[in-house]
């Protein structure tokens, strides 16, 4: 199983970036909604679309798919 | 060498080896809670626990554990260690959990029907919907008695009593008036099976057409036969889905439920590492974990835990993406075994 994104579906809302518990532990600003201060996080919104930076850090907890409004981020 | 055969089913799989004795390991993914004890106890590393958070919380189509049929030696240790009986090894059609030669975890949940008052608190609380309480309620007409009569000559067919009656016991036969019969109702009746003699109709009638008296009010409880108010019933615990979490025991107001747990231990939550993602809350088969209600100005823990309901299975620890949970197992209760290797494997579940 792996975390994947479908940029065609992404609205760039950043719900995944904010909800991700691993992002929050790496960059506390992420959970606050200010946007991560480092690209050490799992995913970030770049140019209006979500991008995976460190998929290896994903613990596959299933939190981000719960908050994504368009199923653009998913586990497969 | 005889090869194992793997049979994949909609909800789980079977691994078989046919020979002098037939061994068959069955795995039920619906019952599995993703604790990973099977992975820990397996002596040949044939079992791999999946990412339970993702499997349970998203639509990903994956089984909670993967069993490699080429590594599995069909020893049955996983089936003995499984705290929820999602795995079962059968030798010639008999489960090893029923064989005296094999150890089994000591765990049970029971409801004593003699003590049970059929309040259904356990049925509502059971996190696995494993409890069914069937109850037969007393006959309502025997609990309240009285007299009621409507004087149809005085009645003006206003329908107020029908509208006010909380028990829907009064019915009026509404109709349109005609020159032949210029009334708005052809009849009015009280269903004495439904009437509770509350006297609301009598009090609300604008023309005092209703005469009613409540005997329970006049004679108090002396008029009641205790047998008439008896509630009978029966309780049922589905052993297949029950995880022996203890909710029924804790919530029962009359101590009718008794739960025996196989593991003792400790559940430690690092509130600083927790990011409140809710994975553990969703994973826990026992509803041990919940989000606390936030009080303004009060620092609240990110996640609440009540160990009373914990079976120390460790599913939450495996699923937590922030390593904020530690589940310690200090005691494993099982029936005795003469085998040193089995004893050792079961002891290895302690942390």
The residue among B81, B118, B159 whose CA lies nearest residue B337 is B81
The predicted model gives A51-65 an average pLDDT of 96
Residues of B in contact with A62 (CB under 8 A): 51, 53-58, 279, 282
Mean pLDDT, rounded, of chain B: 93
- Are B53 and A63 an interchain contact pair (Cβ–Cβ within 8 Å)? yes
pLDDT digits 0-9 by tens, B232-249: 999 999 999 999 999 999
Query: What's the pLDDT score for residue B255?
Result: 97
Question: Cβ-count burial of B186 within 10 angstroms (0-12 exposed, 13-18 middle, 19+ buried)?
Answer: exposed
Task: Give DSSP secondary structure letters for B93-109.
Answer: TEEGGG-TTS--B--EE
Q: How far is B201 from chain A (nearest CA, A)?
A: 54
CA-based nearest distance B277→chain A, Å:
6
A21 contact B CB<8A:
yes
Tell the CATH topology of B5-98. Alpha-Beta Plaits (3.30.70)
Q: Do the domains B140-228 and B5-98 match in fold? A: yes
Which chain B residues are within 8 Å of A1, Cβ to Cβ? 50-51, 54-55, 60, 62
Please report the pLDDT score of residue B223 as a whole number: 65
CB contact under 8 A, A63 and B276: no
Sign of CA dihedral B48, B51, B52, B56: negative
3-state secondary structure of B193: coil
**Per-residue confidence (pLDDT) for residue B19, from 0 to 100:** 83
Measured over the CA atoms of residue B37, residue B40, residue B46 and residue B48, the dihedral's sign is positive
CATH class for the domain made up of A3-75: alpha beta
Residue in chain B closest to A31 (alpha carbons) equals: B275
Residues in chain B predicted with pLDDT less than 50, given as ranges, are none
Query: Which CATH architecture group holds B140-228?
Result: 2-Layer Sandwich (3.30)
B319 C-beta neighbours (distance < 10 Å), count? 30
Q: In chain B, pLDDT over 90 holds for what percent of residues?
A: 84
A67 touches chain B (CB under 8 A): no
What backbone torsions phi and psi does residue B202 show, to the nearest 5 degrees?
-65, -45
Q: Domain coordinates of chain B in residue numbers?
A: 5-98, 140-228
CA dist B331 → A49, A74, B108, B255 (Å): 50, 39, 16, 25
Sequence spans of domains, chain A:
3-75
């Amino acid at each position: 199983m792996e975390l994947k994104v479908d940029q065609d579906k992404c609205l760039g809302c950043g719900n995944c970036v904010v909800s991700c518990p691993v992002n929050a532990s790496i960059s506390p600003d992420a959970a606050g909604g200010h946007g991560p201060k480092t690209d050490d996080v799992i995913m970030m919104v770049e140019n209006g679309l979500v991008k995976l930076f460190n998929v290896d850090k994903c613990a596959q907890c299933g939190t981000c798919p719960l908050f994504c409004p368009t199923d653009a981020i998913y586990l497969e | 060498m005889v090869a194992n055969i793997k049979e994949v089913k909609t909800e789980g799989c079977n691994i078989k080896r046919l020979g002098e004795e037939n061994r068959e390991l069955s795995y039920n993914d619906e019952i599995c809670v993703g604790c990973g004890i099977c992975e820990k106890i397996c002596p040949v590393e044939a079992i791999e626990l999946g990412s339970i958070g993702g499997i349970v919380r998203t639509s990903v189509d994956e089984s909670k554990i993967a069993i490699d049929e080429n590594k599995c030696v069909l020893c049955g240790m996983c089936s003995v260690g499984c705290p929820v009986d999602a795995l079962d090894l059968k030798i010639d059609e008999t489960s090893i959990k029923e064989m005296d030669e094999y150890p089994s975890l000591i765990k049970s949940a029971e409801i004593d029907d003699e003590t049970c008052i059929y309040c259904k608190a356990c049925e509502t609380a059971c996190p696995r919907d494993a409890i069914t309480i069937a109850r037969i309620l007393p006959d309502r007409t025997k609990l309240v008695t009285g007299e009621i009569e409507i004087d149809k000559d005085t009645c003006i067919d206003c329908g107020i009593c029908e509208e006010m009656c909380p028990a829907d016991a009064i019915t009026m036969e509404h109709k349109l008036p005609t020159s032949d019969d210029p009334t708005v109702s052809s009849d009015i009746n009280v269903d004495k099976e439904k009437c509770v003699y509350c006297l609301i109709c009598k009090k609300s009638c604008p023309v005092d057409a209703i005469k009613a008296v409540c005997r329970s009010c006049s004679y108090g409880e002396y008029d009641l036969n205790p047998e008439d108010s008896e509630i009978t019933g029966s309780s049922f615990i589905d052993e297949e889905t029950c995880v022996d979490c203890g909710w029924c025991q804790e919530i029962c107001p009359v101590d009718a439920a008794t739960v025996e747990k196989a593991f003792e231990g400790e559940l430690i939550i690092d509130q600083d590492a927790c990011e409140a993602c809710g994975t553990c809350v969703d994973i826990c088969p026992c509803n041990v974990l919940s989000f606390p209600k936030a009080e303004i100005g009060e620092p609240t823990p990110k996640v609440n835990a009540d160990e009373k309901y914990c079976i120390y299975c460790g599913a939450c620890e495996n699923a937590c993406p922030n390593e904020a949970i530690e589940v310690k197992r200090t005691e494993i209760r099982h029936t005795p075994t003469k085998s040193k290797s089995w004893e050792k494997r079961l002891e290895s579940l302690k942390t």
